[in-house]
Amino acid sequence: MTESFGWFADAPLSGQTFAPPPPLAARPLFAVASAAAFGGLSLVEPRPLGSGARAAYRITTAALTGVYTAAILPAGTTAGMPAHYMGGPRGQFVPLCSIGRGSAALAAGGLMLGLADPLEALDARITGWLTEHGVRNPRWWMAGVGVAVVAAGWAADRAELRSLQSSHEEARQALENTDENLGLADPAMTAVLDALLQPGVTGVEALRVQLDSVQQRDAEAGFMTDAYLAVGEDTPRIAPRTQVWPVKARFQRGEAAFEIELQIHEGRLESLAIMLAEEMYSPGSEVDQDEAINSLTAWPAVEELDLVTETADPLT
């Protein structure tokens, strides 16, 4: 999903497309199995266990937590911090590192092991409280609550995902249905787009055919750092159908460095965006981000551009 919680963001920084949960986590069978596993563990009272049995209980709890975390973690999850903590604008997220499912599983499992003593103390207090208030089988009550929490969390995630997908689709359809807002593309923007379509990149031939029919939405509104595009319905498409084009352009205005990024959707040219380069959000940057963006009044000339192509290694 596209939302960011605390120090984590589950969506790409560009295009704000969905990072849906892995197929396994979306299945009702996964919810049933997870609820049963956590509920079953809740039936075990750790307080009277011997040292060996308690160690096995803790390892099982940590392993189950790690596996569950890895299963529900969307691909492309990024750890970082809000940009305003580093002097950047509010509402933006500065990425620090990507989170793999293996590392997330280890972190979650390790956290459970580290908190084993206080969690078991809390478990004992809850069990004692329930017993004191006349509950005959407190472990069964606790297991029921555990099952309900896991099931409710899974159901809430699915409902939220359906709502986000529906909103996203409605917004896209509304944009696609505003053909009356289409106009001639800004020649300066088209020149930048032409420069990004470098020979040798997979799919560039089809995109060049699309370029011949490209139009710009709300072109009469004048220059904006985001240009939304439309191309002929009968033009060839490319795959992957949704992607960030691997060729980007960088340019400099004073102390501020900018990047231009092309977004492909459904195999077609979708948008071209100017944004501040990532290093402009670093603690050592003295550039006023808002002022730098607002200083732009036109697309840069092709001669100003430094093209970079993304590979398996860092940008080259």
The stretches of the chain forming alpha helices (DSSP H) are 28-42, 51-72, 101-114, 116-132, 138-176, 187-196, 204-211, 289-294
Give the span between the Cα atoms of 67 and 269, in whole angstroms.
Answer: 39
Sign of the alpha-carbon dihedral angle for 17, 21, 24, 28 = negative
Q: Is 154 within 8 Å of 26 (Cβ atoms)?
A: no
The pLDDT tens digits of the residues spanning 207-252 come to 999 999 999 988 888 899 999 999 988 999 998 888 999 999 999 9
Query: What DSSP state is assigned to residue 21?
Result: P
The pLDDT tens digits of the residues spanning 118-132 come to 888 888 888 889 888
- pTM over 0.75? The answer is no
Give yes or no for a cis peptide into 240 (omega within 30° of 0). yes
User: Please, which pLDDT band fits residue 75 given cuts at 50, 70 and 90?
Assistant: low
SS3 274: strand
Give the span between the Cα atoms of 313 and 175, in whole angstroms.
Answer: 36
Sign of the alpha-carbon dihedral angle for 165, 170, 173, 179 = negative
Residue 55, both tokens:
């160690």
